[in-house]
Structure 1
Amino acid sequence: MTSQTTVEKASREPQDTLPPAPAKGLRGHPWLTLFSVAIGVMMVALDGTIVAIANPAIQQDLGASLAQVQWITNGYMLALAVSLITAGKLGDRFGHRQTFLIGVVGFAAASGAIGLSSSVALVITFRVLQGLFGALLMPAALGLLRATFPAEKLNMAIGIWGMVIGASTAGGPILGGVLVEHVSWQSVFFINVPVGVVALLLGVVILKDHRAENAPRSFDIGGIVLLSQAMFCLIWALIKGAEWGWGDFKTIAFLMAAVGLFAVFAFSQKNVREPLIPLAMFRSVPLSAGVVLMALMAFAFLGGLFFVTFYLQNVHGMKAVDAGLHLLPLTGMMIVGSPLAGVLITKFGPRVPLVGGMVCTAVAMFGMSQLDTGTGTATMSVWFGLLGLGLAPVMVGATEVIVGNAPMELSGVAGGLQQASMQVGGSLGTAVLGAVMASQVDSHLAGNWADAKLPPLSPQQLDQASSAIEVGIPPVGPDLPAPVVEKITNVAHDTFVSGMSTAFMVAGIVAVIAALVATLTKRGENAEVGAGAGHI
Structure 2
Amino acid sequence: MTSQTTIDKSPQGPAPEPAPAKGLRGHPWLTLFAVAVGVMMVALDGTIVAIANPVIQRDLEASMADVQWITNGYLLALAVALITAGKLGDRFGHRQTFLIGIAGFAAASAAIGMSDSITLLIAFRVLQGLFGALLMPAALGLLRATFPAEKLNMAIGIWGMVIGASTAGGPILGGVLVEHVSWQSVFFINVPVGVLALAMGLVILKDHRARNAPRSFDIVGIVLLSAAMASLVWGIVKAGESWGWGSGSTWGFIGGAVALFALFAVWETKVKEPLIPLGMFRSVPLSAGTVLMVLMAFAFMGGLFPVTFYLSGVMGLGPVDSGLHLLPLTAMMIVSSPLAGALITKYGPRVPLVGGMVCTAAAMFGMTTLTTGTSTLVMSLWFALLGLGLAPVMVGATEVIVGNAPLELSGVAGGLQQAAMQVGGALGTAVLGAVLSSKVTSEFAGNWKDAGIPVPPDPRLEQVAEFGAVPAELDKAPGMTPDLASKIGAVIHDTFLSGMGLAFTVAGVVAVVAVLVATLTKRGENAEAGGGAVHI
Q: TM-score, normalised by structure 1?
A: 0.90
Cα distance in 1 between the residues matched to 2:308 and 2:30: 35
- Pairing 1:179–2:177 present: yes
In structure 2, the residue matched to 1:233 is 231
Shift of 1:285: 0.5
Contact 1:237 1:251 in 2 (8 A): yes
Alignment of 1:433-512 (within 5 A): 433-455=432-454, 457-458=456-457, 461=458, 463-474=459-470, 476=474, 478-479=476-477, 480-512=480-512
In structure 2, the residue matched to 1:366 is 365
Out of 377-386 and 141-150, give the one that drifted further.
Answer: 141-150
1:410-437 deviation line (CA, Å, top 9, x unaligned): 1111111112212221222223323433
Contact 1:152 1:346 in 2 (8 A): no
Q: Which runs of 5+ in 1 are unaligned?
A: none
Contact 1:212 1:530 in 2 (8 A): no
In structure 2, the residue matched to 1:195 is 193
Shift of 1:335: 0.7
1:137-174 deviation line (CA, Å, top 9, x unaligned): 11111222222233443333233222222222232233
Shift of 1:91: 1.0
- The count of residues paired between Structure 1 and Structure 2 equals 524
In structure 1, the residue matched to 2:206 is 208
In structure 2, the residue matched to 1:27 is 25
Out of 118-127 and 266-275, give the one that drifted further.
Answer: 118-127
Shift of 1:188: 2.3
In structure 1, the residue matched to 2:519 is 519
Out of 281-290 and 123-132, give the one that drifted further.
Answer: 123-132
1:11-66 deviation line (CA, Å, top 9, x unaligned): 68554343121222222222222211111011112222333444566677778788
Cα distance in 2 between the residues matched to 1:119 and 1:471: 20
Cα distance in 1 between the residues matched to 2:303 and 2:68: 19
1:56-115 deviation line (CA, Å, top 9, x unaligned): 666777787887666554443332222111111111111211111110011112222333
Partner amino acid, structure 2, of 1:491: V
In structure 2, the residue matched to 1:403 is 402
Alignment of 1:81-480 (within 5 A): 81-117=79-115, 122-243=120-241, 244-455=243-454, 457-458=456-457, 461=458, 463-474=459-470, 476=474, 478-479=476-477, 480=480
Out of 385-394 and 360-369, give the one that drifted further.
Answer: 360-369
Cα distance in 2 between the residues matched to 1:146 and 1:467: 48
Out of 476-485 and 57-66, give the one that drifted further.
Answer: 57-66
1:492-511 deviation line (CA, Å, top 9, x unaligned): 22332233223222222211
Out of 473-482 and 284-293, give the one that drifted further.
Answer: 473-482
Contact 2:68 2:433 in 1 (8 A): no
Cα distance in 1 between the residues matched to 2:437 and 2:122: 28
1:462-489 deviation line (CA, Å, top 9, x unaligned): x544432232124746322112211222
Q: What RMSD, in angstroms, separates the aligned Cα atoms of the two structures?
A: 2.6
Partner amino acid, structure 2, of 1:484: L
User: Sequence identity, in percent?
Assistant: 74
Partner amino acid, structure 2, of 1:133: F
Q: TM-score, normalised by structure 2?
A: 0.90
Cα distance in 2 between the residues matched to 1:102 and 1:529: 33
In structure 2, the residue matched to 1:37 is 35
Contact 1:20 1:530 in 2 (8 A): no
Partner amino acid, structure 2, of 1:523: R
1:252-305 deviation line (CA, Å, top 9, x unaligned): 222222112211111111121111111101101011101111111111111111
Cα distance in 1 between the residues matched to 2:59 and 2:449: 40
- Secondary structure in 1 matching 2:525: coil
Cα distance in 2 between the residues matched to 1:360 and 1:342: 17
- Secondary structure in 1 matching 2:91: helix
Contact 1:147 1:530 in 2 (8 A): no
Cα distance in 2 between the residues matched to 1:67 and 1:11: 45
For the structure 1 residues 201 and 292, does the alpha-carbon distance in structure 2 shift closer, same or farther, using more than 3 Å as the test? same
Cα distance in 1 between the residues matched to 2:506 and 2:185: 37
Cα distance in 2 between the residues matched to 1:59 and 1:385: 28
Cα distance in 2 between the residues matched to 1:230 and 1:469: 32
Out of 344-353 and 442-451, give the one that drifted further.
Answer: 442-451
Partner amino acid, structure 1, of 2:98: F
Out of 307-316 and 161-170, give the one that drifted further.
Answer: 161-170
Cα distance in 1 between the residues matched to 2:374 and 2:63: 35
In structure 1, the residue matched to 2:49 is 51
1:109-138 deviation line (CA, Å, top 9, x unaligned): 222233345666554443332111111011
Contact 1:408 1:529 in 2 (8 A): no
Shift of 1:446: 4.0
Cα distance in 1 between the residues matched to 2:111 and 2:373: 43
Cα distance in 1 between the residues matched to 2:365 and 2:239: 26
Cα distance in 2 between the residues matched to 1:433 and 1:298: 12
Cα distance in 1 between the residues matched to 2:322 and 2:55: 18
Q: Which runs of 5+ in 2 are unaligned?
A: none
Shift of 1:214: 1.6
Shift of 1:234: 2.0
- Secondary structure in 1 matching 2:369: coil
Cα distance in 1 between the residues matched to 2:529 and 2:188: 40
Out of 118-127 and 414-423, give the one that drifted further.
Answer: 118-127
Shift of 1:334: 0.6
Out of 64-73 and 270-279, give the one that drifted further.
Answer: 64-73
1:303-357 deviation line (CA, Å, top 9, x unaligned): 1111211111111100111101100100011111111111110000000100010
Cα distance in 2 between the residues matched to 1:519 and 1:429: 22
Cα distance in 2 between the residues matched to 1:399 and 1:186: 32
Cα distance in 2 between the residues matched to 1:435 and 1:99: 35
Partner amino acid, structure 1, of 2:469: I
Cα distance in 2 between the residues matched to 1:444 and 1:232: 30
Contact 1:16 1:213 in 2 (8 A): no
- Secondary structure in 1 matching 2:527: coil
- Secondary structure in 1 matching 2:345: helix
Contact 2:83 2:415 in 1 (8 A): yes
